[in-house]
Amino acid sequence: MVTKINLVEKFGCFTDQWSPKIVADLNDSHVKLAKVQGEFVWHQHAEEDELFIVVRGVLTIEMRDGQVTLGPGELVVIPRGVEHRPVAREEVHLMLIEPKAIRHTGEVVSQRTVHEYARI
């Protein structure tokens, strides 16, 4: 079965930040949407690359040796093992494509760690 997903509609389904929601499955990955604002925790993913796509707003991803800033329609892949911290001055709408087994905050556990993703 093929199902069309309206991103604007899906982003309208939630207001919480730093808590990605699953909107689709793609092979061994989830397609997730998230709203973010402020600073996330420094973390890394030892075994997985992470894809960030900015739908709305401006996101900076800080790394220990630099940073990358993304605007709407831009994406970046953070390679496995690279310590990073997403930062958003204003609310940003993100699409993430990540392996199903990825831990939201890597090995770091904080109040922002998501243990079970909601599906919208």
pLDDT tens, residue by residue, 10-45:
999 999 999 999 999 999 999 999 999 999 989 998
**pLDDT given for residue 103 in this prediction:** 65
Report the predicted TM-score, pTM, of the whole model to 2 decimal places: 0.88
Q: Is 76 exposed, middle or buried (0-12, 13-18, 19+ CB in 10 A)?
A: middle
pLDDT reading at 108 higher than 80: no
Domains and CATH numbers, the chain: 7-119 (2.60.120.10)
Rounded to whole angstroms, how far apart are CA atoms 7 and 21? 12
> Is pLDDT of 113 > 90?
no
Indicate if the alpha-carbon torsion angle 21, 49, 52, 6 is positive or negative.
negative
* Residues forming a β-bridge with 78: 50
- HSE at residue 90, side-chain half, CA atoms within 13 A, is 6
